[in-house]
Structures are given as C-alpha cells and as structure tokens.
Amino acid sequence: MGEEQGVAQMTRIGWWLAGGCVMSVCLLIPIMMATAGSKSDPKPASSAAELSTIRGLVKATAQATLASQVQGRISQLPFKEGQRFQKGALLVSLDCSKYEAELASVQAEYRGKKKTYENNLRLAKYHAVGELELAVSHTDAEKAFASVKVAQVTVNGCTVRAPFPGRVVKMIVNEHENVFPNDQLISLLDDSLLEIELILPSKSLAWLKVGTPFEYAVDETGLQYPAVVQDIGANVDPASQTVKVKGLFRTQPENVLAGMSGTASFAELPR
C-alpha cells in the first residue's frame, strides 16, 4: 500500500514537471519568434548616419598628360603651371629645323616626279612613250607624295597644342631639354566643369536616381555647395557593396579646385 502511494506521488510530480516544461516552452516560443523576426527584417535603405558621412573627391571632367611624338630639343614652353589656355593653344614647341629641311627635300623630289609623270602622260597621247615607262613614272610620283605626307606628320609633331581649354597642372620638362618619342611633356586638366565623385552604399540604389539633390561640404574651403547626382555607376562592387556616383555642382564655384575632398549629405531620406 505504501509503495502504491509512493508511485502515485511520483507520477503526480512527473506530470507537474512536464506541465512546467511545456508552459516554459510556450512562453519562450513568442520571444524566439520575435527575436528571429527582428534579425530577418531587412535594414532600411540607408541610415541618416551613413548618408551624412559620404566622402567625396572633386575631379576635372577632362585631364591628360601629353607626350612627344618626335625627337628634338624643346624651344618654347609658353605656359607655366597654373596658367589657363584655350583649346588649340601652343603648349610645347620643339626645334624643327631638321625635319623642316627633310620636308622641303621630299617636296622638291615629289615636284620632280610629278612633272616627269605629267610629261609622260602627254607623250603617251602621241604614243611617244611606252606603257611601262608611264606606269613607273606614275608609281614614282605616288611614292614621293607619300614621303611628303610622312615628313609633314613629323613636322606637325614638333608642336603640341591643347586638346581642350583648361589649366596647366604640371610642366614635366624644361626649355632646351632634349626629348624622345613618348616622353611626357605636360599635364593638363579642364576645370571648366568640375564633378564630384562619391562612393555610396549599394542599398542607396533603392531610392537614389539621377537628379537627386545633395549638399557637398568642401574640407579646404569650409563651405557647403548645392549639387545634384549626374551619373550612377553601372555596377556594384561585390566586395564592398558600394556603387560609384558622380555629381555636379549646381553652380560652378570659383574657389574650388580639382583634387579637393569633402563630405556629401543627402537631406531627405527615404521613408
């Protein structure tokens, strides 16, 4: 009889413990579901903190480093670093006396070959010259003309002209120095239209579009300038999950130079 009462008591204790476990599990399930839901919920497109600390760089729309096409001694460098120039302006001039003499020589040879061919052409009307001689004189004239064009290209290489309007960034050579083909001479940029290069989180693409306004604070001037998104990169960097964006100042500032850095801020965040 005592054993039966003990078994019954143990059974009641077991059921009580089981019921307590079930209740605990029932209480934990909503908490776990809420926690899981908070982890799986997508993050907002872009946080205010992210969009107020976007670093950027002011860049020129066009820049180039020009090189020599021929060998020669530099005779003129009309512009100095920082000075402005117009498109087509003479930037570098080389002593071209040797190449000009070679051009004059091949031009004279071409004139002689051309006269010979023209004379043979007249004689051919009276059958006073053979067809072979006429063809050879024609070929000689064409070869001489090709030599003239080659010499003219060489002479043209003695002068380096501006491909666009802008400013001189750096003079790589000095007057009276001897240069060779492909030697760098001068570095240029076109600052008539400055652009702002930004790197934004790729999730910004959910709301970012061409024409989106933003403010750009330049470190060097301490001033803010209104700007607008001009272009959005064609791809997202898979490693950093960022996208390259280019912006333009609404009004080109006079005191901002290419190479200055700053911070972009987007005033309106997506809801």
Query: Mind listing the pLDDT tens digit for each residue in 64-115?
Result: 999 999 999 999 999 999 999 999 999 999 999 999 999 999 999 999 999 9
| pLDDT tens, the chain, 271 aa long | 444 454 444 445 444 444 544 444 444 444 444 444 443 333 334 555 566 679 999 999 999 999 999 999 999 999 999 999 999 999 999 999 999 999 999 999 999 999 999 999 999 999 899 999 999 999 999 999 999 999 999 999 999 999 999 999 999 999 999 999 999 999 999 999 999 999 999 999 999 999 999 999 999 999 999 999 999 999 999 999 999 999 999 999 989 999 999 999 997 555 4
Q: Is the pTM here over 0.75, yes or no?
A: no
Length of the chain: 271
84-to-7, 60, 67, 172, 258 alpha-carbon distances in Å: 104, 14, 19, 17, 14
φ/ψ of residue 188, rounded to 5: -130, 160
CA angle 175, 177, 180 (to 5 degrees): 125
H or E element at residue 223: none
Residues in Cβ contact with 197 at an 8 Å cutoff, skipping those fewer than 6 apart: 56, 57, 58, 59, 244, 245, 246
> Residues 134-138: contacts with CB within 8 Å, 24+ apart?
137/113
Strands 159-161 and 184-201: what pairing? Answer: unpaired
Residues 6+ apart with CB under 8 A from 35: none
CA distances 256 to 20, 59, 260, Å, are: 72, 10, 7
10 Å CB burial of residue 3 (0-12, 13-18, 19+) is exposed
Burial of 185: CB neighbours in 10 Å, binned 0-12, 13-18, 19+: buried
* Structural domains of the chain sorted by starting position, each given as residue range(s) with its CATH number in brackets: 48-61+192-265 (2.40.30.170), 63-186 (2.40.50.100)
CA distance 268 to 246: 18
